[in-house]
Amino acid sequence: MEVASWLRKCILSRLHGFDVHFWDSKGTVPTDLRDTNVLVTFSADHNILNSFPRLRLLQVWGAGTDRIDVQAAADLGIRVMAMEGAAARAIAEWVVLMVLFWERNLALWTASGASGTWTWAERYALPFSELTARTLGIVGCGPVGSEVARVASLLSMRVLAVRVRKELPAPPGVTLLGGIDSLPNLLSRADYLSLHCRLSEETRGLIDMRALSFMPRSAVLLNAARGELVVEKDLAVVLRHGRIRGASLDTTAIEPLPPESLLIGIPNIVITCHQAGFTNQAVERGLLILKNNIVHLIESEGSAGGRQ
């Protein structure tokens, strides 16, 4: 089922009785949606926002508002809300899955096991390490980064972090190294570096050739945030030359990867097709956030009328 049809069905089945509509941000705005008060979408620029004269709440289906012209929305009196934290648990599980995938070298051993080509000599050659001996570095300590830290701490991993708003306290179980200016320190100390910060002018291209040069050769990059946080051509060079062990990317700058992408064909990369936060429970939490935001809008402004 196409994503637009699937999401529209979810919204209608869970939020019947509310004046809420979904649009997939593609093409021109359908005429029958122009009078909606509440819109769920992925992205919207100034022109799109002006196509909804009665719009009062724009709910992003996702954790960030980087694909919304937030200033234009504010000028038009439209509230913009994201679903922060809805997929936090799901993404934390993805991080653990990827850490164990690399730590236990599952790509090699599942292939060897299925083909019957492994030997006892290979099996005894190098024992694995338990996660108690590993350090997880986290960039961004919002709802997702904090949940990742909590779950990693339960597995007795050492958790270090940097955050954009360094004046905020560290989540439980986290050693906060400072702000983004402390990233080189984090990079040099992490066995696994997991990105969970918002995309902004400050963080776009955060993981470039210089940043990657601080990572140990044994380190692995994990990204379940925004693809644009990583300079993909730099990552491709680093991976092909074995300067870091590998990378697990749930998101890339263009999805799916175009045929000309430099990331295609690299053996030490895992791409999971934007599925890290896609669970039944995450969807239900997202719909609950949407419902609560609509109720709050009705209670604070009244249920009648549009923008003045």
What is the set of active-site residues? 226, 255, 274
With tokens 């050492």, the residue in question is: 158
Residue 271 neighbours by CB under 8 Å, 6+ apart: 248, 249, 250, 252, 257, 263
At 95, is the secondary structure helix, strand, or coil?
helix
Q: Which amino acid is at 213?
A: S
Sign of CA dihedral 1, 61, 41, 23: positive
Report the alpha-carbon distance of residue 213 to residue 287 in Å, rounded. 41
Phi, psi values for residue 79, rounded to 5°: -80, 135
Task: Give Cα separations from 30 to 22, 24, 80 (angstroms).
Answer: 11, 11, 20
Task: Give Cα separations from 196 to 113, 141, 278, 301 (angstroms).
Answer: 34, 7, 16, 34
CB 90 within 8 A of CB 278: yes
Q: Around Cβ 40, how many Cβ atoms within 10 Å?
A: 25
